[in-house]
Amino acid sequence: MLLALLPDLVREGRQIQELFDLYQFMTAKWLDREASWIEPSILTAVSKRLAVFIYASRGRRGSDRVTVDELHSLAQAMDIPEDRWNHLSARSLLNRDSEGNIKFSHRSIMEFYFVLSAIDGDPACFKVFWSDFMRELFVSWGNSQQGQSNVVRAKQILAMDLNKLGLSPLSEPLDGPQDYSVRTFINSRASRQRRIADAWRADSIKILSAPNQIHRVIEDAEFGLIWEVPHLSDYDTDEIQIIQTTHVEMIKTGMSKRLASKVQFLALLEAEASLDMELLMRETFLWLGDRIGKRSPIVVSVSDAPLEHSGVKLLGQLSGKDRNGTPVWAYEVLTQPTGFGSRVAVVSAIPTLVSETDRQSRQKLHSMSPEELRSFLDGLNHEQKSLTAEPDSAS
């Protein structure tokens, strides 16, 4: 169907950059072809209503098709006469199957109309878990000219529970910690794949815990990340030492697996700029989960100049900067532990922890029944409440 659009695109000299615009162009051509027997506005309204009905009831009905009677019921609720559907054919985007049932010619067409309904504000769209393709269409809409002119509506959707809707991560997930050579660590950059509109960035970030706690918990829906970030400016030295830990201790407790990678860390720095607030400590060593080779840990600092410490070797300046133009410096930790029981002079840096949305789990969620999904989300809510609770002194 998409390839069949090429002659029209060439003939009209259209330059389409976004997936959303391509589907909008395709459905507009369909509406033009059917205009002799039904007004485009009516066919669009019915298609959106039908898409939401089919998708929201797919688990109960086990099909992406509706009977003619079901279509009549939907149309009557919109004051549309029954005889409007007599001209549906196999060449339409909305057509009949061999048994007379009504279906969209492709699932992606149904999902496009579902997203249109969500943008229009149909509350039924926000009671179900969205598919991956719906998420891609939604992000593409935000990058389209239509989406850029309707940022207010986007902000309303971004304020919802995006995990419950299946919309997080909005962009392609970032790579986790890796082993690097010195050169590749400094020079490698995250490839920019699908990204949300710049105007959405601040609204994709939520501060989940109170700012007066030692740890802030930050949800970044663009990349599907949950951050636990120490915020220590108002605490004295003894309190800071409670949450400082060596790399050895992090390995023993399993915390090192949750340390941020370089690209994840730079994404948090980007989030700071979007929120125009400070989330990370300055002039302080911060642990990363990446390593030089398979042994040497890495720390970074957001500081005007490299920090001096006998236990680290400066690797260089990373590509990212904070909202004030302060550079990010990376260091190899030189003193290596000989065993978990040894007391070693490893750099005492602040751990910034991150957990990531599992895409396989996300796909599993999409296949759950409403009852299974509700039970799973209740468990997540309980876990999140535990995460955001203020830590006691022992922790």
Mean pLDDT to the nearest integer, 346-372: 61
In a domain, 392, yes or no: no
Confidence of residue 305 (pLDDT cuts 50, 70, 90): very high
pLDDT tens for 196-235 read 999 999 999 998 876 556 677 889 999 999 888 876 555 5
The predicted pLDDT at position 20 comes to 96
In a domain, 355, yes or no: yes
In a domain, 168, yes or no: no
The predicted pLDDT at position 291 comes to 92
Q: Would the pLDDT of 88 be above 80?
A: no
pLDDT tens for 251-285 read 777 778 788 999 999 999 999 999 888 888 888 88
The predicted pLDDT at position 245 comes to 74
Reported as type and span, the H/E element at residue 293 is none
Same domain for 198 and 346, yes or no, is yes
Same domain for 200 and 335, yes or no, is yes
Same domain for 130 and 265, yes or no, is no
In a domain, 159, yes or no: no
* Interatomic CA distance for residues 286 and 350, integer angstroms: 5
In a domain, 163, yes or no: no
For 172, which DSSP code? Answer: P
Q: What residues make up the domain containing 103?
A: 3-149
In a domain, 60, yes or no: yes
The predicted pLDDT at position 239 comes to 53
In a domain, 329, yes or no: yes
For 295, which DSSP code? Answer: T
Nearest CA among 142, 141, 146, 119 for reference residue 52 = 119
pLDDT tens for 123-172 read 999 999 999 999 999 999 999 999 999 999 999 999 999 988 989 999 98
The predicted pLDDT at position 360 comes to 54
Looking at mean pLDDT, say which of 191-195, 227-231, 360-364 comes out highest.
227-231
Task: Flag the least confident range among 74-83, 121-130, 241-250, 314-323.
Answer: 241-250
Same domain for 87 and 206, yes or no, is no
Q: At what angle do helices 151-158 and 107-120 cross, to 10 degrees?
A: 100
Same domain for 207 and 84, yes or no, is no
| pTM of the entire predicted model | 0.81
User: How would you classify residue 115: left for phi > 0, otherwise alpha for psi between -120 and 50, otherwise beta?
Assistant: alpha
Same domain for 36 and 142, yes or no, is yes
pLDDT tens for 306-315 read 998 888 899 9
pLDDT tens for 40-84 read 888 899 899 999 999 998 877 777 888 888 888 887 888 777 666
Same domain for 140 and 234, yes or no, is no
Mean pLDDT to the nearest integer, 307-326: 91
Say which residue, 366 or 201, is predicted with more confidence: 201
pLDDT tens for 26-44 read 999 888 888 888 888 888 9
The predicted pLDDT at position 194 comes to 78
In a domain, 364, yes or no: no
Same domain for 113 and 213, yes or no, is no
Confidence of residue 343 (pLDDT cuts 50, 70, 90): very low
Q: Would the pLDDT of 299 be above 60?
A: yes
| Total number of domains constituting the chain | 2
Same domain for 47 and 135, yes or no, is yes
The predicted pLDDT at position 78 comes to 81
Q: Would the pLDDT of 391 be above 50?
A: no
Same domain for 112 and 211, yes or no, is no
Same domain for 190 and 127, yes or no, is no
DSSP 211-265: TTSSEEEEEETTTTEEEEEE--TTS-HHHHHHH-B-HHHHHHHTGGGGBPPHHHH
Average confidence score pLDDT of the chain:
81
The predicted pLDDT at position 112 comes to 97
% of the chain residues with pLDDT over 90:
37
Mean pLDDT to the nearest integer, 290-296: 88
Q: At what angle do helices 68-77 and 40-56 cross, to 10 degrees?
A: 120
The predicted pLDDT at position 378 comes to 63
Same domain for 56 and 95, yes or no, is yes
Say which residue, 353 or 361, is predicted with more confidence: 353
